[in-house]
Amino acid sequence: MHDVEKSIAGLAWHAARSEFNESAAEAAVAVEMYRRANGGAMPETLAALVPDYLPAVPKNPFVPGAEIKYDASREIVSSGEMHMLIRPRERKR
């Protein structure tokens, strides 16, 4: 792979990472809103948040046509490449 190709591939990966971070943050906010509205219960799927909390399940920027993954038991969203904890830790006082 030539330097230019490496640079383009690197830029594409960074763009996908930024898109995932934005989508994961949007999903995390939606999950938290759902949790607060439902007595602390976590949604079983991201699809359960549509349309009340999300306009659609976020797409996975690393896998064309796929959605980001959500694991309610581990409280994470994932692209397969990256993971994001979606429930904030309790603050120490």
Instruction: Convert the pLDDT of each residue in 69-93 to its tens digit.
Output: 888 887 777 877 767 776 655 556 5
CB 68 within 8 A of CB 19: no
**pTM tops 0.85:** no
Q: Where are the domains of the chain?
A: 3-85
The Cα–Cα gap between 8 and 15 comes to 10
What's the confidence (pLDDT) of residue 89? 54
CA angle 19, 46, 39 (to 5 degrees): 125
Backbone angles phi, psi at 73, to 5 degrees: -70, -30
What's the confidence (pLDDT) of residue 31? 92
pLDDT single digits (tens) 21-63: 898 889 989 999 999 999 999 999 999 999 999 999 999 888 8
The Cα–Cα gap between 23 and 59 comes to 8
What's the confidence (pLDDT) of residue 88? 55
Higher pLDDT, 17 or 43: 43
What's the confidence (pLDDT) of residue 90? 57
